[in-house]
Amino acid sequence: MLILLLLRDKEWSQNVQYRVMPKLTIGILGLGDIGQNLAKACKALGMTVWGVGRRDKSDRQEFVDHYTTLSRLPEVLQSCDYVCNILPSTPATKHLLSGNVLESGKDKRPVFINIGRGNVIDEQSLIHALNEGWISGAILDVFEVEPLPKTSALWKMPQVVITPHVATVSFPEEASPNFRHNMLNLCYIQSSPAILISAEVQESMREQGLEIVNDSEKCMQGKRFDLEMVGDSR
């Protein structure tokens, strides 16, 4: 992208501003599988990583320099050059960053990245934080209203990068075998038509107030089954 911008003006500029990764700090809100992999990638680039989770203690700190909880979010905003949200949408995380929460970052002015859920902050709070300079920019893949309305002010803000919440463009003939494989090997099942799910997903569902089918002792013990081995429960 930088090369293209330089070529557009038909000259090689020597006045290019950039920052090197080992001098940068990122705060990752949510240390699930995606958060852990992001932390691993950032550490490989030499970044300092803050990990933010719900529990006072976490065993997911292998690639995290500083671990803390959501209660210390102001400290994270004051310490990081980038803040990346990967939290799920739960009653506890809805509008977590709304209001004046991002004001804590006014000295560091981090870039806010949201690849988690859009309702972690309402649009007006985000726009206000950008206009006030509490954050220096925003990279947004998710929004409280999707698709993002054409009338949204975010489209015209120069410090905002918007992506379409699409990981890839796939073809049915390529996606269906992977889908079948995942269904066969990762689903938790019982003899009834209901499909039971892993303990991690159950916890997330409970937080969102969703009903969980749970009458299998084996499922709660985390035993995996293969549908090809036990037969189709339908």
Active site residues: 117, 146, 165
- Nearest by Cα to 52 from 37, 71, 78: 71
> How far apart, in Å, are the Cα atoms of 224 and each of 24, 145, 227?
41, 37, 10
Left (φ > 0), alpha (ψ -120 to 50) or beta: where does 83 sit?
beta
Return the sign of the alpha-carbon dihedral for residues 174, 180, 185, 186.
positive
Collect all residues with Cβ–Cβ distance below 8 Å to 79 and sequence separation of at least 6.
25, 27, 50, 66, 108
- Nearest by Cα to 148 from 170, 126, 130, 132: 126
Which residue in the block uniquely carries the two structure tokens 């949510």?
Answer: 30
Instruction: Provide DSSP, 16-69.
Output: -----GGG-EEEEE--SHHHHHHHHHHHHTT-EEEEEESSSS-S--TT-SEEEE
- Nearest by Cα to 112 from 88, 128, 136, 87: 136
